[in-house]
Amino acid sequence: MTNQIEFRPIGTIHTPFQQRQGMPIQGALFPENRGTVEIDPEYEEGLKDIEGFSHLILLYYFHESKGYDLAARPFLDDCPHGIFSIRSPRRPNPIGMTVVRLINREKNILHISGVDMVDGTPLLDIKPYFPDVDAHPDAKTGWMGDKLNQLGKKTVSDNRFSDTD
């Protein structure tokens, strides 16, 4: 059984990154990277009360990703891992997620920091971040293990998830 699901973007994420290569691989490690989220005017009312949140979860479409791999070699490891155990943009459903800091709101524009997406990325949804629910300090990190310490080196993307790999 095949079901089609159709999404319409609710806005656009603007960042300083014009190409995938050289972007941060995790926005939280680059809090100085600022961007904006431009919500389409028809959805502006949905931003009511968003200013009370320090962090937001952005769900977006990896619009530059074509095709997918069921196993790939992620950043920080030379071994291939299953696509559902890594954060590659080359996925069967190319949906991305980043937790960003909300700096301020000006009408339908959200000023944010901690961006790790290409300029012009279509925004699918915004959810408020709840630290008591969304943070899990006892979570296991699988194959990443102690490799998470390497993330402190502010790793940026290379061409490993390009469409020609």
Q: Is residue 158 part of a domain?
A: no
CATH number at residue 17: 2.40.30.70
Q: Is residue 159 part of a domain?
A: no
Q: Is residue 163 part of a domain?
A: no
pLDDT score of 164 more than 60? no
Report the mean per-residue pLDDT for the chain: 86
Write down the pLDDT at residue 17. Answer: 85
pLDDT score of 7 more than 70? yes
Q: Which domain holds residue 42?
A: 11-153
Please give the Cα distance from 98 to 115 (Å, whole number): 8
Percent of the chain at pLDDT exceeding 70: 85
Report the domain count for the chain.
1
Judge whether 33 and 115 are in contact, CB under 8 Å.
yes
Q: Is residue 162 part of a domain?
A: no
Q: Is the dihedral of CA 151, 153, 156, 159 positive or negative?
A: negative
